[in-house]
Amino acid sequence: MPELPEVEVVRAGVEHWVAGRTVDDVAVLHPRSVRRHTAGAEDFSLRLKERSFTAVRRRGKYLWLELDSGDAMLAHLGMSGQLLVQPREHAAERHQRVRIGLGPAERELRFVDQRTFGHLMIDPLVDDTRGGSAGVPAVISHIALDPLDPAFDDDVFSATLRRKRTEIKRALLDQSLISGVGNIYADEALWRARLHWARPTAHLRRPQVSGLLEHLRDVLREALAAGGTSFDSLYVNVNGESGYFERGLKAYGRAGQPCGRCGAAIRREAFMNRSSYSCPGCQRAPRG
């Protein structure tokens, strides 16, 4: 499931292949994949055709391909989305949803997405009110900076977090507070910080928040260096190669296996219609 490290791997790969290319053909094969483009699939294609890609940027789990029109093609991979660059004559992937011809190269950009939680849309770039220098797509202006962004402010995050009446893992998954963190890296950072997912944010000390951010950045950077995490080949990078950080996971998906720190069996708990993995020895549940 693509989180920040996987999306960054895709961003870099896509940028290598599309920068300077001009769109000479667009085919929307599944309308759901452009559902957030409210003007419709035809308008989506129209705004891409004959436009050139100038840069590829990312914030959290969103990435966008800047166009020479002042718009950007915004992409979110959801759970199973892939952006692939393939020769045009290469056979279509089973769940190919959108195809974008890259002139004058004999290649095309393909959006492949089995579960269709991901999406593409065209959106105007607006001034970034969150501290960046480049423009951001208007529809994601509410998304917070991610913790690897140089402009991310730890003190502001800590203060905002401690004003909230919620649990720490909910906050980590709230993209308006901090972006790029999903279920996997939230569990990994909490394990490293020895914090249980249900800890109330209002009771966290500032040094605990700082420590958590440090662990979060560590695990994100390690995963990025390894090319991202992948489990079932639904997620692959732009060249079709799976990431392999799963061997570095200490909590996520390890229910029943011994904690690498204290040996206790990692537990799995239901949480927000999904699962949370933690160590009962090193991550004590809060009282109440």
Partner DNA sequence: ATGAATTCCTGTTGGC
Partner DNA sequence: TGCCAACAGGAATTCA
Residues that are catalytic: 2-3, 61, 274
Give 3-state DSSP helix, strand, coil % of the chain, rounded to 5. 30, 25, 45
The answer to whether the peptide bond before residue 104 is cis (omega within 30 degrees of 0) is: yes
Residue 126-155 contact track with DNA, rule CB under 7 A, x = bound: --------------x-x-------------
Please, which residue, 200 or 227, has the CB nearer to DNA? Answer: 200
Q: Which stretch binds DNA (CB under 7 A): 43-51, 71-79, 235-243, 280-288?
A: 71-79
Residue 78 backbone zone (phi > 0: left; psi -120 to 50: alpha; other: beta): left
Smallest separation, CB 275 to DNA (Å)? 4
Q: Of residues 54, 69, 166, 208, which one binds DNA by CB under 7 A?
A: 166
Using CB under 7 A as the binding rule, the residues of this chain from 81 to 110 that contact DNA are 94-95
Q: Are 37 and 44 in contact (CB under 8 A)?
A: yes
Please, which residue, 72 or 102, has the CB nearer to DNA? Answer: 72
Q: How many helices (H) and strands (E) does the chain have?
A: 6, 11
Distance CA 216, CA 199 (A): 16
Distance CA 250, CA 247 (A): 8
Strand partners, 56: 65
Distance CA 39, CA 252 (A): 40
Contacts of 279 (CB under 8 A, 6+ apart): 191, 251, 259, 261, 262, 264, 266, 267
Q: Is 95 annotated as a binding residue?
A: yes
Please, which residue, 214 or 269, has the CB nearer to DNA? Answer: 269
Considering the rule CB under 7 A, would residue 122 count as an interface residue with DNA?
Answer: no
For 193, other C-beta atoms within 10 Å of its C-beta total 21
Both tokens of 25, joined, read: 């053909």
Residue 188-227 contact track with DNA, rule CB under 7 A, x = bound: ----------------------------------------
Q: Are 229 and 245 in contact (CB under 8 A)?
A: yes
Please, which residue, 83 or 102, has the CB nearer to DNA? Answer: 83
Q: Of residues 45, 86, 158, 175, which one binds DNA by CB under 7 A?
A: 175
Reported residue count of the chain is 288
Distance CA 176, CA 57 (A): 18
Residue 220-239 contact track with DNA, rule CB under 7 A, x = bound: ------------x-------
In whole angstroms, how large is the CA radius of gyration of the chain?
A: 20
Q: Which stretch binds DNA (CB under 7 A): 99-107, 217-225, 257-265, 268-276?
A: 268-276
Q: Is 115 annotated as a binding residue?
A: yes
Please, which residue, 129 or 273, has the CB nearer to DNA? Answer: 273
Residue 19-38 contact track with DNA, rule CB under 7 A, x = bound: -------------x------
Using CB under 7 A as the binding rule, the residues of this chain from 236 to 255 that contact DNA are 252
| Half-sphere exposure of residue 183: CA atoms within 13 angstroms, side-chain side | 15
* Binding annotation for DNA: 95, 115, 164
Interface with DNA (CB under 7 A): 1, 3, 32, 60-62, 76, 78-79, 94-95, 114-117, 140, 142, 164-167, 170, 173, 175, 179, 182-184, 232, 252, 268, 272-275
